[in-house]
Amino acid sequence: MALTNVSTCPCLTRPFFFLQQSRSPTQNCHSITRIARPLNCLPSSVIYETEVSRRRANYKPNIWDHDLVQSLTSDYQDEAYAKRAEKLKEEIKCLLQQAGNPLDQLELMDAIQCLGVGHIFDEEIKEALNTIWVSCNNNGNRGGIENYDLYSTSLLFRLLRGHGYHVSQDVFNEFKDKTDSHIVSSVEDMKGILSLYEASHLAHEGETIMVKCRNSTSMYLKAFKGSVDIKLANKVEHALELPMHWRVPRIEALWHLNIYESEEHMNPTLLELAKLDFNMVQATHQLDLRKASRWWRDLGLGGKLSFSRDRMMECFFVALGVICEPQLSYPRVELVKVCQLITTIDDVYDVFGSLEELECFTDAVDRWEIKSIDRLPEYMKICFLALYNTTNEMGYEVLKDQGINIIPHLHKVWADFCEAMLVESKWYYSGHKPSLEEYLNNAWVSSSGPVILVHALLLSKQTISTQVLDGLDKCPDLIRWPSMIFRLCNDLGTYKDEKVRGDAPSSIDCYMKEANVSERDARNHIEDLVSDAWKKLNEELSSASPYPIHFINSAFNLARVVHCIYQHGDGHTVQDSSTKDRLTSLLVQPIPLNVG
């Protein structure tokens, strides 16, 4: 293979930051066996197998041209729109405070969140829910709602649990039938059944009542979705495809805007604010996207590694899904860099590198020393230095601004990720078929979820306690379970393509072999594991977490964005019409709006 001179790559001409810390093997928090380093990975030896047979995934070229991305602009940065938005905000605040009864207030808060403007009214919603919570404790869990029915009880449960209040599942006991196996409700009460279905997805592990609620409502909705009015039928179909709690808030806001506009009790002030805010936030995201695209072009890595996926736009979608708050531009842009580096390194391990080269690259990342590149082939030198410089630059910015050296933490998640990827490469080259347990113990790390979430936490430039920093080495559940959901959704979405490429075993393969079942049965089992992981993750909402709220949101949002990406296939790799339309609606086209 012809190789380009490494000195021409921009990623090698950037300044180095020598903030290093050696990593103890005992720091690994997952069950990957440490790799015994081969002798030829000593710094004195140069490894490059010129005749090695390499796999090719034949990834399609990027369809999002850099110049096109740089041309994205928006009129919604104008001061006149900001002033109009402020006026509308004040009107909605008054509505929240003056709601006639608790149910009206709950429905308004729900609409605010569904339409994507919850970030504007954080304090008002917290205050209102706290008042309702106090009333719940003084009024038998009713929250001041008289003659409460299945719909209002489910709405109350979902909103309170979603904001960290530990509402007991026992509130639904009143609606169970005599056999204790189904929720009693008129089949005509599809609104109530749908509300309970959505609430049931905030269940915790071991909550049998919530499991029964989910099973019963799912059965009702599937049986009767064709016999209700068209508006409600659309909501039922949407919920059965993916529950609200598992959906990306930004995309969900677009869907709800279309639905809300035709609602009988639609509030025109809230509708205008939601559209206006969507367009104003989109303008902020466009600025972030242009900045990230310039970084990727200047780095020059995409042009050097022709075997790897150039997916800057899709990486921005991941970062946007994880960190959607408009005020968090800096960590969002940095997270785009992380996601593109993950994509590139993933292709090094899964597609191009020989096992011997991958062992050396893993060792170089583990050592985290410039001299480690001496024994790497040229394409790996470029990749390592891009990772090394980008990570150290991120660490430098945080050290400069906050006086905290985060590089050891960033280095650790990258080293763990590469270790996990190497384990899978060894399985591929040796033909080893792991058990499902063995696979999952490694796969939640190789999903790259820990890399994404640790960067999301440490790059936020917000105060981080010593307790949180020390706890990162123990792999908290707030990182583990979104990463597990990431891996399982990825396996479900990419299984067919990876089988064609002959990749290493996935969770579906492992369970098919272990349980001697069909692909369909294995998929059902993996989907059950996704649900189980969500129950464990949900518990993090109501626990006394030391983590800042923005990071808790990021952890849940990572689980949500992978559902979106892999729901109908590999939405990160395949730039088909649905992926393109989704990105266009989020980042290119504003919502038509006549400002009052």
Position 147 scores a pLDDT of 58
Backbone angles phi, psi at 183, to 5 degrees: -85, 130
Q: Which two tokens mark 531?
A: 């649900």
Least trusted range by pLDDT, from 93-107, 114-128, 269-283: 93-107
The residues, ordered by sequence, that sit 6+ positions from 116 with a Cβ below 8 Å of its Cβ are 249, 250, 252, 253, 254, 256, 257, 274, 277, 278, 281
Share of the chain above pLDDT 90, in %: 68
The three-class DSSP label of residue 183 is: strand
DSSP conformation letters of 443-476: HHHHTSHHHHHHHHHHTS-S---HHHHHHGGG--
Position 502 scores a pLDDT of 66
pLDDT reading at 276 higher than 90: yes
Q: Which two tokens mark 50?
A: 């010129």
Model pLDDT for residues 458-491, shown as the tens digit of each residue? 999 888 888 888 888 888 999 999 999 999 999 9
Q: Are 158 and 150 in contact (CB under 8 A)?
A: no
Summarize the confidence of residues 271-291 as an average pLDDT.
97
Q: How does 241-250 read in b/e, with b if 16+ C-beta sit within 10 Å?
A: ebbbbbbbbb
pLDDT reading at 30 higher than 70: no
Position 574 scores a pLDDT of 80
Model pLDDT for residues 58-117, shown as the tens digit of each residue? 788 888 989 999 999 999 999 999 999 999 999 999 999 887 788 999 999 999 999 999
Backbone angles phi, psi at 246, to 5 degrees: -100, 5
Q: Which two tokens mark 308?
A: 């790897």
Nearest alpha-carbon partner for 118 in 305, 274, 283, 348: 274
The residues, ordered by sequence, that sit 6+ positions from 130 with a Cβ below 8 Å of its Cβ are none
Residue position matching structure tokens 């990230």: 292
pLDDT reading at 43 higher than 60: no
Position 12 scores a pLDDT of 44
pLDDT reading at 269 higher than 80: yes
pLDDT reading at 553 higher than 80: yes
Position 83 scores a pLDDT of 96
Q: Which secondary-structure segment (H or E) carries 406? A: none
The dihedral over CA atoms of 546, 394, 385, 484, expressed in degrees to the nearest 10, equals 30
> Which pairs from 133-141 meet CB under 8 Å and 24+ separation?
133/160, 133/165, 135/102, 136/160, 136/167, 141/167, 141/168, 141/170, 141/171
Counting every residue, how long is the chain? Answer: 596
Summarize the confidence of residues 167-189 as an average pLDDT.
74
What is d(CA 454, CA 410) in angstroms, rounded to the nearest whole number? 7
Least trusted range by pLDDT, from 9-13, 195-199, 324-328, 532-536: 9-13
Name the more confident of 7 and 300.
300
The residues, ordered by sequence, that sit 6+ positions from 104 with a Cβ below 8 Å of its Cβ are none
Q: Are 491 and 508 in contact (CB under 8 A)?
A: yes
Position 517 scores a pLDDT of 97
Position 44 scores a pLDDT of 40
Q: Are 519 and 510 in contact (CB under 8 A)?
A: no
pLDDT reading at 220 higher than 80: yes
Q: Are 363 and 35 in contact (CB under 8 A)?
A: yes
Nearest alpha-carbon partner for 166 in 542, 547, 552: 542
Position 510 scores a pLDDT of 96
The residues, ordered by sequence, that sit 6+ positions from 406 with a Cβ below 8 Å of its Cβ are 394, 395, 398, 399, 458, 459
What is the overall mean pLDDT for the chain?
87
Model pLDDT for residues 485-535, shown as the tens digit of each residue? 999 999 999 988 777 666 778 999 999 999 999 999 999 999 999 999 999
Summarize the confidence of residues 229-256 as an average pLDDT.
94
Summarize the confidence of residues 362-389 as an average pLDDT.
95
Q: Are 501 and 57 in contact (CB under 8 A)?
A: yes
Position 24 scores a pLDDT of 43
Position 573 scores a pLDDT of 81
Position 399 scores a pLDDT of 95
Nearest alpha-carbon partner for 272 in 87, 80, 128, 106: 87
User: In the beta sheet, which residues pair with residue 528?
Assistant: none
DSSP conformation letters of 250-283: HHHHHHHHHHHTT-TT--HHHHHHHHHHHHHHHH
User: In the beta sheet, which residues pair with residue 183?
Assistant: 176
What is d(CA 558, CA 260) in angstroms, rounded to the nearest whole number? 26
Summarize the confidence of residues 550-571 as an average pLDDT.
94
Position 42 scores a pLDDT of 44
Q: CA–CA distance from 509 to each of 188, 512, 572 (Å)?
A: 42, 5, 21
Res. 47 pLDDT band, cuts 50 70 90: very low
User: In the beta sheet, which residues pair with residue 535?
Assistant: none
pLDDT reading at 177 higher than 90: no
Q: Which domains does the chain have, with CATH numbers?
A: 82-272 (1.50.10.130), 300-587 (1.10.600.10)
Least trusted range by pLDDT, from 8-22, 45-59, 199-213, 376-390: 8-22
Half-sphere exposure of 553 (CA within 13 A, CB side): 18
What is d(CA 409, CA 416) in angstroms, rounded to the nearest whole number? 11
pLDDT reading at 33 higher than 60: no
Summarize the confidence of residues 434-445 as an average pLDDT.
97
Half-sphere exposure of 537 (CA within 13 A, CB side): 29
Q: Estimate to the nearest angstrom the gap between the alpha carbon of 332 and the chain centroid.
A: 12
Q: Which two tokens mark 95?
A: 């509505």
Q: Are 407 and 58 in contact (CB under 8 A)?
A: no
Q: Are 209 and 196 in contact (CB under 8 A)?
A: no
Single pTM value for the model = 0.90
Q: Are 258 and 300 in contact (CB under 8 A)?
A: no
